[in-house]
Structure 1
Amino acid sequence: MRTNPITSIPCYVAAIVLTVSVFCRIPKAFSQAKSAAVSVNFDKDGHRVTRFSTVGDAIDAHDGEIALFNGTYYLYGTSYDCGFARGDKKAPFCGFKSYSSTDMVNWTDRGFLFDAQTPVWQTRCNGNTYGCFRPHVIFNERTKLYVLWINVYDNVSGYRVFTAKQPAGPFTEVAEPKLAVNSNMPAAGLNNGDHDTFVDDDGTAYLAYTDWRTKGSIIVEKLSADYLTGTGEYVGGITKGSTEAPGMFKRNGIYYIVYSDPNCGYCSGTGASYRMAKAPLGPWGESKKISDNSCGGQPSFVSTIKLGAGTVYLFGSDLWNHAAKNEAPANYYWAPLAFNDDGSIKPMTCEQAFKISPSNNKATPGKAAGLSYRLHGDIARNIQRRQSFKTAKSGMLTDISLTIFKNGYPDAGLQIDLYKADLTGAPIGKAVYSQTLTADAIGWAAKNIIIHPKVAVTGGSRYCIVLQSATATGVYGMAYNDDVKTTAGVESYSSNGGNSFSVEPNRVLKFAVMIK
């Protein structure tokens, strides 16, 4: 079955296939090779690639930025794994996460920036509100504190501010900031939106933000010396409206703002434009477009990456999940901007992959290595999937790791059965192990879940994993790849409740086994 049903989630991931091997521990098994420091956006067929953390979970940090502190990259973003959904009044707020990396390939989950599960933060940010988004972090050299700005909609300014001693926090909230624009408007309304924080060479910081009262024009306001609030010095109307998500940076004495043009929340494929100025508060020049679709996403940030003898200006866009209410499966496009001799930005070319060399800081096109996986959700009611494998040695099959997610609100659990299998991958006899995971035990973002069969196996024997659910609402899904040239196992699909299965050639589900 090559056509994806409506319940399919069309996003893609890059990981190491481990369908037949013995591995030491899950974290090492799913980490990507550090020698292949190529950051991949799309596979060879142009499908979106979702990045995994070093333990094999899909990265769950969206609409934020990448920042470089002390030689380490930090990815900040909004989490959707707990089930946050726009417009769903019962949906919880998940919080903000960070990941760290030394090469923008191997990302370590650093956890949440602060505890967002408290009643206060749920009231401010859950599905009964407009939500809370876009974490941006800058370092204040004078105070030696990292300063976090997030976009909220429960106060007048539209933002809340935090400080921490470390880039990944924990962050502590400080006083509500005051900004010049919309300061007399009522609280809990659409005042100010998507923003970016920018620190100039002299240590002066600025906030570039979206003014919703003018239907999406861009503002730049100078921040206080501690970066915790506005100063009232600003320039408004940099754009004329219908824009959002500014990313501000400086190159060779010229200031730039790149923004979504037009504004279109959670849309896939919105344009990206920019303006230039000789000073942060302008005057700002005319709009110039560099992409009609932001490589399939919506502009999110431009990060200034200073390494070696040069600087790279990394453009990021969120590859949204087709405006789904929950964006846990959303992906990312990251690649350096290119410039003409006069300082203008060249049109974006949407690189499949790229590599930044710390030694000379050159950004060069790269090539995806290994397999790229898609996330597909369709396991429900009559639809089942199974994957066979051959044991590498005799011993005790202690663990099976499966990369699983849910979409929607399943009203039944996910049943996992392990059978002995024949050469076609079909089950033989009764299940040797069975476990049902509750819906609450499975997140909206794809993560490794480990079951413990503790079944004695003989080397070279064949087994198969069967995944099924009786849910009448929502679906479960797994990562898979369709370009596997191996005889290690067979993946097959049933649409009639398991009465018959169809083999899907070259397809493999993402899983791993441990035999001791």
Structure 2
Amino acid sequence: MNKKLFCIICFLWPLLAYSQKYHSFRPGELWLDNNGVHINAHGGGFIFYNNKYYWFGEHKIEGEKGNYAQVGVHCYSSSDLYNWNDEGIALKVSSEPNSDIAQGCILERPKVIYNPNTKKFVMWFHLEPKGKGYTGALSGIATANKITGPYTFIRSTRTTPGCYPVNVLDLHKCPVKQSTIDKKLYGGGLNGEHPDTLNILGRDFKEGQMARDMQLFVDDNGKAYHIFASETNSTIHIAELTDDFLDYTGKYVRAFVNRYMKAPAIFKKDGLYYFMGSGCTGWKPNAARSAVAPSIWGPWTELGNPCQGENSETTFHSQSTYILPVSGRKNVFIYIGDRWNPQNAIDGRYIWLPIDFQDNRFNIHWHNEWDLKYFDCK
């Protein structure tokens, strides 16, 4: 192709894409917004409000530099889930170098919920201050009066400081060994040692527990919960939020102890709570995990990998970020995952797939292309 023709195509492609209307999902393919620009909302969270869906996610830039927050949290809106309008940057990183959300920090998996008592939209996200790697394991909180923002950063925090979980063990209240205190276990694992042997929970009791990959869930009764990977990613914590959704009540449980689950997603169907997550292999995809419980507090029963068929062992080359209930449709849910590209962060793709149910289990199969009519025969 001659250079002149190539330039013409590059110029016209966004204009053609702008007029394009999507009528289906094509997992892994480039997905353009109303401006003909790829949707840039990774590690996303979703909320349905005033008859529209809103998608919040990490805004990435090109190259490995895009793995750090250079812009902020991007927001999109849609009335049909196929076509998305760019609503701009909902939460901007700060140009103030001493800010917790200074440009270059790590800001991951933003989720937004609406508080009917305060009339505020509340955003939580995993936060690591700039230049400190993953040593912080903090949660960031921001609020807005309007769903699309702008969101104002409120604070960052460790979780549930000074509180023991509902299912605390006696060993957690024992004096913590100096060797455990001295361990700088901020990476992906505990080098084969059990978190209870080291008493990581006890080590972090006063300062607050670690929180990395996270999710928010609002139950039918309006109670909100923060679900996150804790204790150096070895254990999931599920913590109840205060009525304003801005803090913890102090009530929480440990789940999946020593199972090293990340990327948590929780949804509810027919009175049962379902969990989906991944293992801990960094940016590389792995086999998904799933579980079911009669209560948000458990007990949780693992169900294995919900993905079926070819490439199921890598969750179809993706990692869970959200399970989306389709508004107006009973028991209709969509798996939403990220196909990360850490070498060129902006080119991460999105995997949306329908969820099937059988005997209190859920399954996910690959589809090159599908639409919401898939659920009509279910």
Count, aligned residues: 325
Distance of 2:87 and 2:207 partners within structure 1: 31
Distance of 2:215 and 2:376 partners within structure 1: 23
Distance of 1:245 and 1:276 partners within structure 2: 16
The secondary structure found in structure 2 opposite 1:169 is coil
Distance of 1:235 and 1:224 partners within structure 2: 16
RMSD: 3.4
Asked whether 1:281 is paired with 2:300, we answer no
Conserved? CA contact 1:82–1:93, under 8 Å: no
Distance of 1:63 and 1:276 partners within structure 2: 23
Shift of 1:123: 6.0
Which residue identity does 1:320 align to in structure 2? W
Q: Find the structure with the greater CA-based Rg.
A: 1
Distance of 1:363 and 1:39 partners within structure 2: 16
Relative to structure 1, the CA distance from residue 83 to residue 95 in structure 2 (aligned partners, 3 Å threshold; closer, same or farther) is farther
Distance of 1:138 and 1:102 partners within structure 2: 18
Instruction: Give 1 or 2: higher helix fraction.
Output: 2
Conserved? CA contact 2:66–2:345, under 8 Å: no
Distance of 2:35 and 2:377 partners within structure 1: 27
The correspondence for 1:310, drawn from 326, 330, 333, is: 330
The CA deviation string for residues 224-262 of structure 1, in whole angstroms up to 9 with x for no partner, is: 1111111111110334232101001111000111101x2
Instruction: Give 1 or 2: higher strand fraction.
Output: 1
Q: Which stretch of structure 1 is more off in the superposition, 179-188 or 150-159?
A: 179-188
Q: Which has the higher contact order (CA 8 A, sep 6+)?
A: 1
Q: Which residue of 1 aligns with 2:30?
A: 50
Distance of 1:108 and 1:54 partners within structure 2: 5
Relative to structure 1, the CA distance from residue 364 to residue 265 in structure 2 (aligned partners, 3 Å threshold; closer, same or farther) is farther
Asked whether 1:332 is paired with 2:350, we answer yes
Q: Which residue of 1 aligns with 2:107?
A: 132
Q: Which residue of 2 aligns with 1:38?
A: 24
Asked whether 1:113 is paired with 2:90, we answer yes
Conserved? CA contact 1:61–1:79, under 8 Å: yes
The secondary structure found in structure 2 opposite 1:306 is coil
Conserved? CA contact 1:92–1:122, under 8 Å: no
The CA deviation string for residues 443-469 of structure 1, in whole angstroms up to 9 with x for no partner, is: xxxxxxxxxxxxxxxxxxxxxxxxxxx
Q: Structure 2 length normalisation: TM-score?
A: 0.76
Asked whether 1:362 is paired with 2:371, we answer no
The correspondence for 2:225, drawn from 194, 206, 209, is: 206
Conserved? CA contact 2:255–2:300, under 8 Å: no
Shift of 1:304: 2.2
Asked whether 1:294 is paired with 2:306, we answer no
Conserved? CA contact 1:74–1:98, under 8 Å: yes
Q: Percent identity?
A: 25
Asked whether 1:100 is paired with 2:77, we answer yes
The CA deviation string for residues 392-415 of structure 1, in whole angstroms up to 9 with x for no partner, is: xxxxxxxxxxxxxxxxxxxxxxxx
Distance of 2:317 and 2:39 partners within structure 1: 18
Q: Which residue of 2 aligns with 1:345?
A: 362
Conserved? CA contact 1:156–1:186, under 8 Å: no
Conserved? CA contact 1:84–1:93, under 8 Å: no
The secondary structure found in structure 2 opposite 1:114 is strand
Relative to structure 1, the CA distance from residue 225 to residue 120 in structure 2 (aligned partners, 3 Å threshold; closer, same or farther) is farther
Shift of 1:319: 0.9
Q: Structure 1 length normalisation: TM-score?
A: 0.57
Stretches of structure 2 that go unaligned for 5 or more consecutive residues are 130-134, 162-200, 308-312
Relative to structure 1, the CA distance from residue 29 to residue 355 in structure 2 (aligned partners, 3 Å threshold; closer, same or farther) is same
The secondary structure found in structure 2 opposite 1:85 is helix
Relative to structure 1, the CA distance from residue 313 to residue 273 in structure 2 (aligned partners, 3 Å threshold; closer, same or farther) is same
Stretches of structure 1 that go unaligned for 5 or more consecutive residues are 2-16, 42-47, 366-516
Which residue identity does 1:344 align to in structure 2? R
The secondary structure found in structure 2 opposite 1:328 is helix
Relative to structure 1, the CA distance from residue 187 to residue 120 in structure 2 (aligned partners, 3 Å threshold; closer, same or farther) is farther
